[in-house]
Amino acid sequence: MGLFGKNTNIKPQAEDIPVPMVTINPSGTILFANKAIKKFFGTENLENLKITDLIKSDLPSMIDGSNHQIEKAFKTYGEKEKYVEITTKEVNHLFVMTFVDVTQDYLLMDNLLKYRKDTDNFGKNKNRFLSQMSNVLKSPMHSIMGYSQAILEGMGGQTDERQRKYLEVIYRDSHDLFKLIDKIVELSKAEAQLMNFSYKNFDITNLLNQIYSEYSQKAKEKGLDFVISTDDLSQKVLYGEENILKQIIEYLIEAAFLSCNFGTVRVVLSDKEFAEKNENKINIKVLDAGTKMKESEIPTTYNPYYQPDKKHRTTLLKSLCICVAGNLISSLNGSVTVETEVSGFSVIIPTDKSVEKSVRFN
């Protein structure tokens, strides 16, 4: 029978579809759960459970209609409540359900609605619109990426060379579009200062190890060298907002990766010059082998609505990364300058407890 026929003879390839997916019968019993959905819920034991054991909703509302998208709250095992968008398709009297975690989008919307009363209506409506559009666009993009990858891996049968070429274009372009949507939403969140701040002492080396682990492979795939230098860093334990600092470094690294196709992307951390002055600050430089920024471009570097060249997708994505990083740096009372001798940016972030009391919200 078919892929999701009554005998539930699921092809092995379905296990590896990157989109979280289950198959349920009309009574709501889970007959099949792929690897992605098991990771999504944090458990291997999903088969034979009721879908209503996982999702705070009645079964009829979840399977009402073909290709019906529903946004409902549910709880995962041992975790806080999340929000999920469900797409349901009926196949041979069974129901195939795919899931997208939209918790951050919901929280963004909730914060936007509660955002300071004196924020002008234009700003609120703009950010609300961006958030709503992200929900609308992310779900189909997830499906396009997941199913095109599944077909490329042979799930739908053999494909010839011409078909594979088209599928690879679909997957690559949908992946790029998804990244653009994500960066636009992050820019909206950063501009509105809708972040949760959690200041604490943290080990900067652990943070850097995480970043290196994630980006060294990406650099290798692009033919770049990736180096993190801490030779001039005297302190390992810093006080600050670890998660936002990590995001700042990552956005600038992503911008650097987009700037060059050869050479080295270098992250340099130092604090000795500040320690000599008894100042609690850290300097983070992210340098690359790309083209140095022109003097005329510097004044508009952190303005996402005016950039010298927005014709190319890569240029737009790089611009968004830089602008999000700039807003996050400002939220930590930091400063950023464009490196004029090489291509890159220099960031200075305060690392003393006084900064917690003076976080900027303007």
Is 1 a domain residue?
A: no
- Indicate which CATH number applies to the domain containing 39: 3.30.450.20
The 8-class DSSP code of residue 294 comes to P
Whether 3 is in a domain gets the answer no
Identify whether residues 159 and 237 lie together within a single domain. no
Residue 98 has φ and ψ, to the nearest 5°, of -115, 150
- Looking at residue 6, its pLDDT comes to 41
The answer to whether residue 173 is domain-embedded is yes
Average pLDDT over residues 285-298: 75
Residue 5 belongs to a domain: no
Q: How far is CA 3 from CA 14, 62, 350, in A?
A: 9, 21, 57
Q: Note the pLDDT tens digit of each residue in 205-258.
A: 999 999 999 899 989 988 999 999 999 898 889 998 898 899 999 999 998 998
Residue 211: its pLDDT value, please? 94
**Whether residues 267 and 163 fall in one domain:** no
> Per-residue confidence at 360, pLDDT binned at 50, 70, 90?
very low
The pLDDT value recorded for residue 179 is 73
Residue that finishes a domain, picked among 191, 214, 229: 191
Contact 63, 90 (CB under 8 A): yes
Q: Are 103 and 123 in contact (CB under 8 A)?
A: no
Task: Report the predicted TM-score, pTM, of the whole model to 2 decimal places.
Answer: 0.56
Contact 287, 343 (CB under 8 A): yes
Residue 30: which of 54, 12, 64 has the closest Cα?
54
Tell which wins on pLDDT, 287 or 135: 287
User: Is residue 18 within 8 Å of residue 35, measured between CB atoms?
Assistant: no
Domain residues for the domain of 54 are 12-101
Q: Are strands 21-24 and 30-33 parallel, antiparallel or unpaired?
A: antiparallel
- Same domain, yes or no: 87 and 232: no
Tell me what the mean pLDDT of segment 256-262 comes to.
Answer: 88
Residues 172-178, mean pLDDT to the nearest whole number: 77
Q: Are residues 325 and 204 in the same domain?
A: yes
Lowest mean pLDDT among 103-107, 305-309, 311-315: 305-309
